[in-house]
Amino acid sequence: MLFHAVAAATPPPPVHTGGILPLIGGTAGLLTVAVLGIALLLFLIIKVRLQPFVALLAVSIAVGLGAGLSVTELFGTVQKSAAVSVVESGMGGILGHVAIIIGLGTMLGAILEVSGGAQVLSTRLLTLFGEERAPLAMGLTGLIFGIPVFFDVGIFVLAPIVYAAAKRSGKSILLYCMPLLAGLSMTHAFLPPHPGPVAAAGLFHVSLGWVILMGAVVGIPSVLAAWGYAAWIGKRLFVEVPQDMVEAAEEAKAAVAAEQAAAGVTPREEPVSLGAVLAIIGTPLILILAATFSSIALDPSAVRSVLEFFGNPFVALTLALVLAYYLLGIRRGWSRTSLERVSTASLKPVGNILLVVGAGGIFGAVLKASGIANALATTFNDVGLPVIVLAWLISVVLRVAQGSATVAIVTTAGIVVPLVEGAGYSQAHLALIIMAISAGSIFASHVNDGGFWMVAKYFGISERDTLKSWTVLESVLSVTGFAVAALLSLVI
């Protein structure tokens, strides 16, 4: 059974003498530096409103110096000797894995968005399930379409469909938007190629196949629980369809059409094929999972090598993107120039995400190099707190305190990763720890989270009702996801 505390066999923390700030002394001093560093991070983000990348970088440097790392250890030398600095190794180590996956996934989502794949998916599901089960259709739309697109993009694209379904029924918009949001939030938290789970997989050195598998196993019960709460709250809180947002959505749709025309996107009249949309979304998932299982079930062979090649996340996502280019673009009349413009435009918001993830890698590298990670491991081992519980709790605290799920994930991973190194955890168990961190990162979305205001604005929900619906929905997702991950860790 792998539901146990941090391994006891942790070496004593190294003592550095070259730092600018004096070392307070021993484990207690290192823990003090760690606590002060987290407090400083929260202060810079919450009170000073410093950009999270800058805040994480500044705190990493302060913690490193406070724990006794020298300037040379942190940054290297001007001559750039063979030794790689802590800052460079932390940033480069994580971005070398994450940047390509996030970039390819972002472009894939953009093609699906602009081509109208979401509308086709939701329309087919609404027709299939009928008016009475329209909330379930919206939930499945969010779940499927949420795999390749960011949470905020999913809201922007799918909100008009929610408006239409709610207007036809005359019921509360919460009945339709909350299941949709649950699907979008679940995939954003638990499944690649979204930044959070991808970044955590890179920091923990876990195969994306295991993250996908555990993300589905943990995420499906979580989203079912959230859908149950959505059905309950939707019958008790009536919220009208926001007419101003309906009009704004029409204007936005016209603006998008104008932008597409300016970019040379002139698709033919026939709609996107639902089969094509599902094939594009499913291709990388199936390839990555096949590679993961082949490494377990097959002996080294030509077949296994082929499966592992095509199941490499870089290759699998590239194939899916090329498939999207052809099925949703070229075959429907798009020019190569229009595909390039849409792809390039989609990458503009990714820079901030990558920098935050990279700074999280620096933070983790500083904790490890300074000995703080060993001090934390010793302390938590004495307390007897299981790693998976610790991971969720730290993530919850950081999420509630500063609002950003990405910051919560990369900071928590930076703290937890060194605690599990050398402890003999399997890839499956490490993936469950990632799920616990991801679950904690979506707990209790409230007024310091941009997602809270996006939900309230797009669906015309008052702040009080958003707290009753959206905030509780996120908490249900978080607690259920953690509970499933913790239970699975008993037997995996």
Q: Where are the domains of the chain?
A: 93-180+243-346
Residue 5, classed as helix, strand or coil, is: strand
Residue 286 has pLDDT above 90, yes or no: yes
Angle at 396 between CA 393 and CA 398, to 5 degrees: 110
User: What is the per-residue pLDDT across 51-60, written as a single tens digit (0 to 9) for each?
Assistant: 999 999 999 9
> What is residue 386's three-state secondary structure?
strand
DSSP state of 50: -
- Residue whose pair of structure tokens reads 């970019």 in the numeric block: 263
- The predicted pLDDT at position 314 comes to 94
Q: Is the model's pLDDT at 6 over the cut of 60?
A: no
Average pLDDT value for residue range 454-480 = 96
For residues 72-90, average pLDDT: 75
Q: What is the pLDDT of residue 391?
A: 94
441, 408 contact by CB (below 8 A): yes
| CB of 356 closer than 8 Å to CB of 56 | yes
Q: Which residues pair with 386 in a beta bridge?
A: 5
DSSP state for residue 16 in the 8-state scheme = -
Which range of 83-97, 195-209, 372-386 scores highest in mean pLDDT? It is 195-209
**Token output for 255:** 């603006």
Task: Read off the tokens for 450.
Answer: 């941009």
For residue 490, give both structure tokens. 């008993």
Dist. CA 322–CA 339, nearest whole Å: 11
Query: SS3 for 311?
Result: coil
Q: Which of 196-210, 370-384, 414-428, 458-472 has the lowest mean pLDDT?
A: 370-384
Q: Which residues contact 351 (CB under 8 A, 6 or more apart)?
A: none
* 286 or 26, higher pLDDT: 286
Q: Are 158 and 119 in contact (CB under 8 A)?
A: no
How are the residues of the chain apportioned to helix, strand and coil, as percentages rounded to the nearest 5? 75, 0, 25
Contact assessment for residue 42 and residue 408, using Cβ atoms and an 8 Å cutoff: no
116: which residues sit within 8 A by CB, 6+ positions away? 267, 271, 272
User: Rounded to whole angstroms, how far apart are CA atoms 446 and 438?
Assistant: 17
Question: So what's the pLDDT on residue 250?
Answer: 65
Band of the pLDDT at 288, cuts 50, 70, 90?
Answer: very high
- The pLDDT assigned to 28 comes to 84
257 vs 460 pLDDT, higher one = 460
C-beta of residue 26 within 8 angstroms of C-beta of residue 59: no
User: What is the 8-class DSSP label of residue 233?
Assistant: H
445 contact partners, CB below 8 Å, separation of at least 6: 403, 451, 452, 470, 471, 474
Residues 100-113 have a mean pLDDT of 92
| Residue 78, pLDDT score | 59
On whether the pTM is more than 0.75, the answer is yes
The residues near 206 (Cβ < 8 Å, ≥ 6 apart) are: 200, 427, 430, 431, 434
| Residue closest to 197 by CA, chosen among 433, 3, 418, 385 | 433
Answer yes or no: are the C-beta atoms of 68 and 370 closer than 8 Å: yes
CA distances (Å), origin 112, targets 105, 127, 325, 445, 454: 11, 20, 9, 27, 22
Q: What is the 3-state secondary structure (H, E, C) of 164-211?
A: HHHHHHCCCCHHHHHHHHHHHHHHHHHCCCCHHHHHHHHHHCCCHHHH
Q: Could you count the other beta carbons within 10 Å of the beta carbon of residue 436?
A: 31
Single out the residue of 122, 236, 126, 226 nearest to residue 174, CA to CA: 236
- Whether 492 shows a pLDDT value over 90: the answer reads no
- CA 136 to chain CA mean position, Å: 23
Q: Distance between CA atoms of 281 and 144, rounded to whole angstroms? A: 8
Q: Quote the pLDDT of residue 226.
A: 97
pLDDT digits (tens, 9 = 90+) for 244-261: 777 766 665 665 566 556
pLDDT per position as a tens digit, 135-182: 999 999 999 999 999 999 899 889 989 998 998 899 999 999 999 999
pLDDT at 86 over 60: yes
- The most confident of the ranges 36-45, 123-132, 225-234 is 225-234
> Which of 118-132, 385-399, 476-490 has maximum average pLDDT?
476-490
- CA-closest candidate to residue 201, choices 484, 487, 488, 427: 427
Q: What is the dihedral of CA 332, 337, 340, 345, to 10 degrees?
A: -100
Q: What is the mean pLDDT of the chain?
A: 87
Question: Which of 48-62, 184-198, 236-250 is predicted with the least confidence, judged by mean pLDDT?
Answer: 236-250
80 pLDDT above the threshold of 90: no
The rounded distance, in Å, linking the Cα atoms of 236 and 337 is: 50
Q: What is the mean pLDDT of residues 327-337?
A: 87
What is residue 432's DSSP assignment?
H
Q: Does 16 score more than 50 pLDDT?
A: no
Closest to 477 measured CA to CA, from 434, 442, 436, 431: 442
Neighbour-count burial of 77, counting CB atoms closer than 10 A to its CB (0-12 exposed, 13-18 middle, 19+ buried): exposed
What band does 5 get if pLDDT is binned at 50, 70 and 90?
very low
